[in-house]
Structure 1
Amino acid sequence: MSLFRTPQVVLFTPDPERAAAFYRGLGFEEVFRTPAEGPPIHVDLVLDGYRLGLASEASTRDDHGLAPVASGQRAAVVLWTDDTRAAYARLQELGARPVKEPSEWLGRLLIAWVEDPDGHLVQVAQAVE
């Protein structure tokens, strides 16, 4: 039996509700929120079995005594797609800021980059033949 299981990435954000709305717009489903009423300090969402957490930077600092960084290109959420160009356009419709238009990479992928409303990188990737 493995000591570890069910990996998850948590992104720090000044506004978990806004961030959750963005990722719900991409098809993620909300599976956890605390507190149940009022502004959330943590929201978990799932897409195709992958769990993404959104944690309030204030709560992370105040409740856990940590020093979260909630700005800059610290990590990337990668979303695979069958249509990079359409996905890139949809991300922008949902409020993402374009970073790099779709381009071929390694001769076998078509990828594009945006930043979500908190500045986290989101990459869309498509296998091409």
Structure 2
Amino acid sequence: MFKTPQIVLFSSDVERAATFYKSAGFSELFRTPTEGTPIHIDLELDGYRIGVASEESTRNDHEMDPVVAGQRAAVILWTDDTSMAYEHLQRLGAKPAKAPSPWLGRLLIAWLEDPDGHLIQVVQPTQPSEA
């Protein structure tokens, strides 16, 4: 019945948001329009797909009222080195929210915010076969 799930993040600047995620290793799969200012861009990393949609387009084209502030979603990125990934994402423009810390005695996690304020959780298993 369902297939290929995806999360869409709302952004005030779709190009800026997509550039941030491409810098983090995502590849662009789709954009519309193909020329000019995009209103939607889809990206993918290791089979994990996210979209970035214009707040304005979501209101005007779909008659929706997207929530555009606050900690409304989290992009989870698994890694082999949470501390290195945390620092790397800050260099790309992410704002630190919580430094790496142990969780559940088997994970090391850190929290950041992307340029639109969406949470990013960076997770490293400290024991084999967690991801």
TM-score (norm 1): 0.97
Contiguous gaps of at least 5 residues in structure 2? none
Identity of aligned residues (%): 68
AA of the residue aligned to 2:12: P
Paired residues for 1:1-129 under 5 Å: 3-129=1-127
Supply the distance in 1 between the matched residues of 2:63 and 2:84 (Cα, whole angstroms): 41
1:59 aligned counterpart, secondary structure:
helix
Question: Separation in 2 of the partners of 1:50 and 1:104?
Answer: 25
- Alpha-carbon distance, 1:71 to partner: 1.4
Once the two structures are TM-superposed, the CA of residue 70 in structure 1 deviates from its matched residue by: 1.5
Deviations 1:75-97 (A, max 9, x none): 10000000000000001000000
Distance 1:115 1:29 in 2: 20
Please identify runs of 4+ aligned residues in structure 1 that moved more than 6 A.
none
Give the letter for the 1:13 counterpart.
S
What TM-score does the superposition give when structure 2 sets the normalisation length?
0.96
Question: Aligned pair count?
Answer: 127
What do you get for the CA RMSD once the two structures are aligned?
Answer: 0.5
